[in-house]
Every structure is written in structure tokens, then in C-alpha cells.
């Protein structure tokens, strides 16, 4: 996909959805961090269902710690890997209180030092909470980058770096969400909806997969 095609790609996404938003429900940066930590290998729907109750009485690091491991696990047990996620979340809360005055750090280094927070999670927080032009490559973006020809790569890091290189600056703030939403609802894993995709004219995948 050449530069004019990339520009057309994102212009089209922006026209359809000028202000894309994460589908995770949160009311503070700490709630966002919690939701993103819980979302690994889980759907946003399942996370929102659990946090709807959790955040009513544990929406700060101290309140989360007050739940204790058993109490927290009981709130998130419907989410996959909830045992390890609960431990990581409580460890993170302790670090936030001891090292960051209860606030979520605004730097990549500070975020990635938190238990359970890797590069992808840090990128989400930096982008969604602080407006940084980062690219969190999840399974949707990895698939879409390779399938469309936008940013082919064998690893999430390779796709991320290529996306950062190729996406024009004017689109970077929202590019992460445009790509996730498009991968989630249109460029799906098992059966991409190519015949109704607005990006079809510049996609590498469509010509050999157009319904007859």
C-alpha cells in the first residue's frame, strides 16, 4: 500500500467515525488502567460487565487494595485469567500508592514498571488517557496490518513500528481506535466482510476474496 493509499485509508475511516472511542467503560485514568489490565484475552463486554460493579466501591488504588485478593477475585471471576490479573492489579495499586502518590504514571517507563503492564497496555493508556500518538497492536490490528497490506510484519512490534512510520501525523491520535474497531466489526478474523468494506479500493486482500 503506497502513501496516497494510506492517506485515503485513514481519511475514509475518519469520515465514517471522526471521534472514535474505546469500548471499555471508565471514569478515571485508574479505572482505564484497571479495565485494560483485565481485558487481556477477554472481551470488552465481559470486562465492562465486571467493572460496572467493581468500580462502584473500588475506583481508587486504596479502595482496590482494601478488597484484598479474595474480594477482588470474587468481583472479576467471570473474566479469564482472573487469578493472575487480581494479583497483578493489587501489586500495581501498591506501587501506585508508594511511588506515584496514587496516580497513574504518564510515562512509558513508569507504566511498563507496573505488574501486568506490557508495551501494548502502556500504549493504550498513553493514547486513550493522555492523548499520545501511540499504537497498541492487539490481535485485530496485527491481523488488519498484515491482511490489508497497510503494515505487514511477523511480530506485533514490527507491525507497530511500520504503522508509526506510515500513518500520517494528522491521523495518529485516533488511528489506534479506527483500526481496532474496523478489525473487530468489519475485517474479522474468520470471515472478513470485504463486500461491505469502505476500504476495499486500497486493500490487498479483497481482489482474491470478493464474493462472486
Q: How many CB atoms lie within 10 A of CB 142?
A: 20
Catalytic residue among 85, 138, 162, 204: 138
- Contacts of 117-120 with CB under 8 Å at 24 or more apart are 117/33, 117/37, 117/92, 119/157, 119/160, 120/156
Question: Does the annotation mark 120 as catalytic?
Answer: yes
Q: Is 49 an annotated catalytic residue?
A: no
Q: Cell 479469564: give the residue.
A: 80
For 191, the grid coordinates are 470471515
Q: 44, 49, 85, 120: which is the annotated catalytic residue?
A: 120
What is each CA distance from 64 to 16, 90, 91, 143, 178, in whole angstroms?
Answer: 38, 7, 10, 35, 32
Instruction: Cite the active site residues.
Output: 120, 138
Amino acid at each position: 500500500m503506497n502513501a496516497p493509499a494510506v492517506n485515503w485509508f485513514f481519511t475514509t475511516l475518519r469520515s465514517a467515525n471522526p471521534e472514535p472511542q474505546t469500548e471499555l467503560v471508565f471514569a478515571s485514568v485508574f479505572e482505564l488502567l484497571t479495565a485494560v489490565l483485565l481485558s487481556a484475552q477477554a472481551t470488552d463486554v465481559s470486562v465492562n460487565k465486571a467493572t460496572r460493579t467493581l468500580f462502584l466501591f473500588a475506583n481508587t488504588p486504596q479502595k482496590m487494595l482494601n478488597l484484598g485478593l479474595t474480594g477482588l477475585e470474587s468481583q472479576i471471576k467471570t473474566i479469564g485469567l482472573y487469578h493472575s490479573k487480581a494479583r497483578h492489579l493489587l501489586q500495581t495499586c501498591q506501587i501506585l500508592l508508594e511511588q506515584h502518590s496514587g496516580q497513574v504514571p504518564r510515562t512509558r517507563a513508569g507504566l511498563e514498571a507496573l505488574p501486568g503492564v506490557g508495551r501494548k497496555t502502556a500504549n493504550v493508556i498513553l493514547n486513550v488517557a493522555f492523548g499520545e500518538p501511540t499504537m497498541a497492536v492487539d490481535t485485530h490490528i496485527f491481523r488488519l496490518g498484515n491482511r490489508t497490506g497497510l503494515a505487514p510484519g511477523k511480530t506485533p512490534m514490527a507491525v507497530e513500528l511500520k504503522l508509526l512510520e506510515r500513518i500520517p501525523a494528522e491521523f495518529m491520535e485516533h488511528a489506534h481506535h479506527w483500526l481496532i474497531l474496523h478489525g473487530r466489526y468489519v475485517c474479522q478474523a474468520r470471515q472478513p466482510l470485504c463486500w461491505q468494506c469502505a476500504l476495499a479500493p486500497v486493500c490487498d486482500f479483497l481482489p482474491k476474496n470478493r464474493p462472486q
